[in-house]
Structure formats: C-alpha cells, structure tokens
Amino acid sequence: MPTTAPTAPPFDPVTLIIIAAAAIVLLSIAAAWHRRRLDRAIATQRRSAILSQRQRNAGQRADVARLASRIIATSSSPAIAGFEIVRQIEAVFTDGHATPTDAVEALKAIAATLGANALVNLESQRVGTGKCTARGDAVMARPLPLAPPPDPPPAAPAKPSDEPPQRVAPPPEPPAPH
C-alpha cells in the first residue's frame, strides 16, 4: 500500500494570523473611509436644510414686519392718545419669542391679520423659560380730528403816552482814512 506523506498546510498559523490582522486593518480603514463619506453627505444635507430654514425664517420675519407696519398706534392702557377706538376686534396673545420686541412685533402682525390697525392694553414680559410673551386687544381706531389753533388774542389798542418820544442818536461816523 502506497503511503503518502502528510501534506503541510498551505500556510503556517503565524502567517494566517498576520493575514487575518491585515484583513481586519484593511476592513477598518475601508469602514472609516465609508463612514467619513457618509458623515460628509449627512453634514451637507444638514447644512442645506439649515440654510433653507434660515431663508424661510427670513421670509417670515419680513412678512411679520410688513404686517406689523399696518398697526398705526399702540398703548399699554385702554385708550390711545389722539385716537378714537371704533371697534374692538379680539384679544390676541403670542409667546415663545426671543425678545419682548420680537413678541410685540409678532402680536402686531397677528392683530393686522385680524383687520386691526391698533393695539390697546399691550403687555410684554419674559417668562421663566427665558422666552417672551405679549398680549393685548386688537382694535380699529381712527385719529381724532385736530382742533383748530386758538385765535390770537386781540391786539391791545395803543394808548397815548404822556412822555415825549425819545430821540435815538445816529451812530457815530467812522474816522476818515489817512
């Protein structure tokens, strides 16, 4: 019976460990490279979403400013000096704004969309969360007619004086040049 010599494995165990380690390193590098590409794609997508949101916000701020400009008068009391309140439209409220000014501007825009041209009982405040609120009453108001200026007092008649009129001396003449 023919005997065959035992065959040696194609690689010794040390070589197999080295090959496995090299494969792991190469796979790690490929995975890291792929992850970086994925992260860059996600970051680009986020940047474009943020830019789009900023543009929408800028458009909304412009709309708010345009609408708020329709409000001709505001007052923290129930009356507006120089205006007559024709009709109360609705109580309005807004919250969640960064500053009291932003809250008041938003409130003016809300009132304008309801058809108001003035706000009375206007209040704004910062709440515990750091955000600001504003509230008031949207009204229609019209300017009061201006009162005509008062008539000047009548001129007093000139009364004769017992003293003779005083003469005013003419100014002295300058000396002649030499």
Summarize pLDDT for 89-133 with one digit per residue, the tens. 999 999 999 999 999 999 999 999 999 999 999 999 999 899 999
In this structure, the answer to whether residues 85 and 32 fall within a common structural domain is no
Domain that holds residue 37: 12-68
What's the pLDDT at 149? 80
pTM: 0.57
d(CA 138, CA 93): 10
Does 152 reside within a domain?
no
- How many C-beta atoms lie closer than 10 Å to residue 20's C-beta? 10
In this structure, the answer to whether residues 99 and 137 fall within a common structural domain is yes
What's the pLDDT at 13? 83
What's the pLDDT at 5? 62
Does 124 reside within a domain?
yes
What's the pLDDT at 99? 92
Q: Domain containing 81 — which CATH number?
A: 3.30.110.70
Does 150 reside within a domain?
no
In this structure, the answer to whether residues 51 and 102 fall within a common structural domain is no
The token duo for 42 is 């996600």
Q: Of 141, 151, 71, whose CA–CA distance to 108 is shortest? A: 71
Beta-carbon contacts of 87 under 8 Å, excluding residues fewer than 6 positions away, are 139, 140
pLDDT in tens, 2-57: 666 666 566 788 888 999 999 999 999 999 999 999 999 999 999 988 888 888 88
CA 102 to chain centre: 5
Q: What is the mean pLDDT of residues 79-87?
A: 92
145 vs 140, which has greater pLDDT?
140
What is the amino acid identity at position 143? P
Does 91 reside within a domain?
yes
In this structure, the answer to whether residues 131 and 78 fall within a common structural domain is yes
In this structure, the answer to whether residues 83 and 127 fall within a common structural domain is yes
3-class DSSP assignment, residue 10: coil
Residue that is last in its domain, among 68, 89, 116: 68
In this structure, the answer to whether residues 132 and 77 fall within a common structural domain is yes
Number of separate domains in the chain: 2
Query: Can you list the alpha helix ranges (DSSP code H) found in the chain?
Result: 13-68, 100-113
